[in-house]
Structure 1
Amino acid sequence: MWTPLRQPVFRALWTASAVSSVGTWMHDVGAAWLMTSLSPSPFLIALMQAASSLPFFLLALPAGALADVVDRRKMILWTQGWMLIVATLLGFLTLANITTPWILLVLTFALSLGSSMNMPVWQAVTPELVEKEELPQAITLSGIVVNLSRSIGPALAGIIIAQAGTGAVFLLNAASFVGVIIVVYQWRRTPQKSGLPTERFIGAVQAGIRYVRYAPTFQSVLIRTSAYILFASALFALLPLLGRRELKLDAFGYGMILGFWGIGGLAGAFILPKLREQFSIDKLVAGSSVLMGIMLLALGTVRNFYVVCALMLLVGIASLSCMVSFSVSAQTAVPTWVRARALSVQLLVFQGCMTLGSLLWGAVAQRTSITVALTSAGVGLIVGVALTARYRLRCAEKLDLRSSLHWDQPTNVFEPCPNDGPVLISLEYRIDPANAEEFTKAMQALSQIRRRDGAIRWGLYQDLSDPGRFVETQIVESWAEHKRQFERVTNSDRLIEERVRAFHIGEKPPKVSQMIYSKYTDGQGLRQPCG
């Protein structure tokens, strides 16, 4: 599990993120505790979670697009600097007794803006720092950071709040960003080079959406993630209220509950590698989700502090197992060129369900009781496991998403400008008419790849006068986007292409034609070359 720490840059970033994560959990406890002091409304308290989650829902996809087209190192520096400023402002306002419920919500929202811009690029950087076979261990180590900080941060926050107030907690969180900024500033990242122009922002967003739309393996990850978070969010939203109103705890006692949650997650990080050897990732997620649902049912009725602490240990194990599994599945289901955008969509789904769930369970608790809200969420989580079982996560681990670079570039008379287009690409196949139906079915899998990697339109046509002649067509919005398709096709895609080509009976490979939309000519019927 510790092998990724042999990589110096990963080790430095992991250490800095551990310190920053402690500060984040201290801040979360301080903010939640301050809100319960400023307002007794369950809805406002649940709105804190919504204020933290909503920016991810709004900005995750744009942040992912930026992370795929700009220097990721610089983007991390900017986002960390923004969070440093906001946390410092909130700290000073709280020390001056100026903070109100709405100021706290606004600055929580602002801090989450920085985090929502930072998280996609941070996740996309991890595969750059370790080998592919070390990625599950690297993500588990990140889970250790989260849960270790969840163990330490809340307890420290409880002590500091009792001694110096919540303002001091906010300022310490601000200081924790400094370490990350220093480490990232010193990192000499080697950017990936390409002979093609950088994708435009709007085009990058569209490419990310198009990829997710036609990537069923990644869609399975999103469905399983949403089914878990929508109901598990009840605990995130209502735990402050459970601690203060139902268990009558002070800040230190509430921090202890979160600390046991973190200890459970830390234990889960050591248990998880053994579980992965014994069970498939689908069985692991299903079992952990059911365990989380049972814990919600228990927390809905138990009001003994020590029993709640014991339950939170199991919550930590279940939540870490699910979140690490979802993260590994997402990262192994997408190639490098679109990784930040795809992960940002997962983050959007995660935070969107967190926001919706927080509002839902907060409203349920206000109209009924915390017991009803947690019990309903527990039942929903268990039922969700059965309803989403057919969406498999294991498929993502079997994909080889390295660029195959096996396409041959046809000989062209001239090279169009990168932004010229649209481009029409056609491939002509010779198929035995007796195999036409099977060929058509095989082409449907290929059509998803074409659309996923850049085609805005795709079609397969059969010649009425020659039933053995099939023509595949696709339209790509620009010449540059078509050239990017050559780099985007993966080894797993190549296997699907080979299954399709096996139906081709011609002596030569399928004929490929590239045609570009004609806007103007040189007066002799020939299109002028670029430049």
Structure 2
Amino acid sequence: MNDTPQFSSKAPPSAFAPFRHEIFRSVWIATLVSSFGGMIQGVGAAWMMVALGASAQMVTLVQASITLPIVMLALVAGALADAFDRRKLMLVAQTFMFAISTILAVCAYLDLITPWSLLLFTFLIGCGAALNAPAWQASVGAMVPREDVSSAVAMNSMGFNLARSVGPAIGGLLVAAASAAAAFTVNALSYVGLIGVLLGWRTEQEKPILPRERLGHAIMSGIRYVAMSPNINSTLVRGLVTGIGASSVSALMPLIARDLISGGPTIYGLLLGAFGVGAVAGAFSSHRLRITYSNEWIVRLALISSAVGIAIAAVSTTIGLTMAAMMLCGLGWVLIVSILNATVQMWAPRWVVARALSLYQMATFSGMAGGAWLWGYVTQQSGIKAALLIAALVQLGCALLGRWFHLPETEDMNLDLLTFNEPATIVPVQGRTGPVIITIEYRIAERDIVAFLCVMAERKVIRRRNGARRWSLLRDLADPELWIERYHSPTWTEYLRHNGRFTEDDALINERVSALHMGSDRPLVRRLLERQTGFPPAASLPDATEWTTPMTDQSRLS
């Protein structure tokens, strides 16, 4: 693999290009306000837990109750976002969080909150956020054109990190000036704007031709697609390892402020602000970096920036130097997550993009959750400096992972779905009819066998990734030029669903296979129903043609 810096030949649009689109601009602003509300609510919940006299473990569970649903429900939320109207799903999630936050605020004003009920409320709000996230991220591709997706993702990351940096400070001031109940009220009100925007957004939702997949099948389809997509797998691995290393900053920042700089809450707030400034700079610089560097090299540079920032924070004893280190960390973090998120979106077709994003989110958040525990343990055993220096080495190690888990480029991808018309059959079939066996017959010259086997290896991956079962390639012993591709579908509906998942890029493989086929006719496609032998009662015997007649066609897609 060529490990030298790669350069992009096509200049990406401006970082602000996504804001030219009214719906993205409106949703982004409303989401930013909602994110601020969520951060303020988190501060209020943590302070109320302290005010209730709960143990330190209960206080730490507040943050866990917010993030745990993201890991638990990401796959389910992704499957729902791919199956239903994403705008409506976001509307349900936001309305649910508004209702729970309102009830929490009312209970807080009436002094009805206990430590366990507070955890329940925060957990439910986290469930709403987990349901909303895949639908929101997957909707970006419907709000802006393909060339603006990377910039849109960077703007989303910048907005979230801006809220994460400034929101807690606002929350602290609000709690000090009023009460935790006031923070809960502000959070409830923060959902109103986004609910209004979503109510006014009218999307053109295509009416599904096939029935929706059952939830369990949809989840397995998403896992199968990602597992058989090496480029998305590379992104997940990088997200997991990066999450482990980068979590050291957020997990240990309060200790950095207290133990390494000898500061208090004000210093902690300044460090959060510096991280946010770096995040904004990262979002604005990402489009310029994409003019010169490939995705892989941007991530490597960002990881090195993050590692340098973490190492400086480990040895610094002055507020100025540590703030500069936090800016480097924020810069690197936003560049990394925006590139990884955009890579998943650009490599996953629309039918599975939310599930792919949810798996990426699970990997990254699992790394962050595990990393937070790891760095706390290392700090307890060896001190905060040792923990930060080890975390810096982890970030450098993630940069080296690029040699084995290389991030792909996405400029030339065309993941628009092909149109597949249901083939006519002589034997009557219904959606539940099956199992269906499909064979495609090719005639391949001896000189083309090696090329044929190579392209069929790619076709096998595409078939299985899109849901085909028991794929095999056969050669006729009596006719060496005859090759037969064979696979199964459990039902006729699943067969149609499988073929409806092919993209324009997949069609290039079909064309390469057809080009190797000899003769003027297209490869012969046979669709057959598998039937069991036996002697059932005469009254239950089907028509003889259903047992004996294969369904044949010579269509380009099968």
TM-score of the two chains, using structure 1 as the length reference: 0.91
Question: Could you list the per-position Cα deviations for residues 276-298 of structure 1 after superposition, in whole angstroms to 9, with x for gaps in the alignment?
Answer: 11111110001101111222222
Higher relative contact order (CA 8 A, sep 6+): 1
Q: TM-score, normalised by structure 2?
A: 0.87
2:455 match: secondary structure: helix
Change (3 A) 1:388 1:51: farther
Instruction: After TM superposition, give the deviation of residue 341 of structure 1 in Å.
Output: 1.2
Within 2, Cα distance between the matches of 1:494 and 1:180?
39
Describe the superposition over 1:135-187 as per-residue Cα deviations: whole angstroms up to 9, x where unpaired.
12222222332233234323322322332244422321221112111211222
Q: Is the 8 A contact 2:310 2:325 kept in 1?
A: no
Residue range with higher mean Cα deviation, 318-327 or 235-244: 235-244
Aligned length: 527
- Corresponding residue for 1:459? 472
Structure 2 vs 1, CA of residues 382 and 90 (structure 1 numbering), >3 Å: closer, same or farther? farther
After superposition, give the CA deviation of every residue in 1:342-401 in whole Å (9 maximum; x if it has no partner).
Answer: 111111112222222222222222333322222211111111211333322233443210
Name the residue aligned to 1:511. Answer: 524
| 1:512 aligned counterpart, secondary structure | strand
With over 3 angstroms needed to count, the CA separation of the structure-2 counterparts of 1:483 and 1:177, relative to structure 1, is same
Aligned twin of 2:30: 16
User: Counterpart amino acid of 1:58?
Assistant: M
Distance of aligned partners of 1:168 and 1:239 in 2 relative to their CA distance in 1, 3 Å threshold: farther
Other-structure match for 2:544: 525
Which residues in structure 2 correspond to 1:367-516 (within 5 Å)? Answer: 367-405=381-419, 410-516=423-529
User: Match for residue 213 of structure 1?
Assistant: 227
Distance verdict in 2 for CA 1:88–1:7, change over 3 Å: same
Amino acid at match of 1:311: A
- Counterparts of 2:234 and 2:370, CA distance in 1: 20
User: For residues 491 and 36 of structure 2, what CA distance do their matches in structure 1 show?
Assistant: 47
Which residue identity is paired with 2:545? L
User: For the Cα contact (< 8 Å) 1:424–1:515, is it kept in 2?
Assistant: yes
Q: Alignment partner for residue 150 of structure 1, among 148, 164, 167?
A: 164
Alignment check: 8 A CA contact 1:458 1:474 kept? yes
Which residue number corresponds to residue 332 of structure 1?
346
* 1:42-441 mapped onto 2 (5 Å cutoff): 48-91=62-105, 104-244=118-258, 247=261, 249-405=263-419, 410-441=423-454
Unpaired segments ≥5 residues, structure 1 = none
* 1:408-460 CA-partner distances (Å, limit 9, x unpaired): 76542145211222221111111123432332222111111001112122111
Report percent identity of matched pairs: 34
Distance 1:106 1:372 in 2: 36
2:238/2:401 contact within 8 Å kept: no
The answer to whether the 8 A contact 2:42-2:63 is kept is no
Query: Once the 2 structures are TM-superposed, how far is the Cα of residue 90 of structure 1 from its aligned partner?
Result: 4.5
The aligned amino acid for 1:527 is E
Distance 1:524 1:318, change over 3 A: closer
TM-fit CA distance, 1:258: 1.4
C-alpha separation in 1, matches of 2:235 and 2:271: 30
Cα distance between partner residues in 2 of 1:213 and 1:487:
20
Q: Alignment RMSD, CA only?
A: 2.7
Q: What is the distance in 2 between the residues matched to 1:261 and 1:367?
A: 27
Equivalent in 23, 41, 56 of residue 27 of structure 1: 41
Q: Which moved more, 1:275-284 or 1:307-316?
A: 307-316
Tell me the distance in 2 between the aligned counterparts of 1:365 and 1:93.
38
Residue 5 of structure 1: how far off its partner (Å): 2.3
Alpha-carbon contact 2:294-2:409 (below 8 Å) kept: no
Judged with a 3 Å threshold, the aligned counterparts in structure 2 of structure 1 residues 505 and 498 are, in CA distance, closer, same or farther, namely: same
- What letter matches 1:484 in structure 2? R
- For 1:293-337, what per-residue CA distance to the aligned partner results, in whole angstroms no more than 9, with x for missing partners? 222222233243333222222222111111110111011001111
- Distance between the aligned counterparts of 2:232 and 2:120, measured in 1? 34
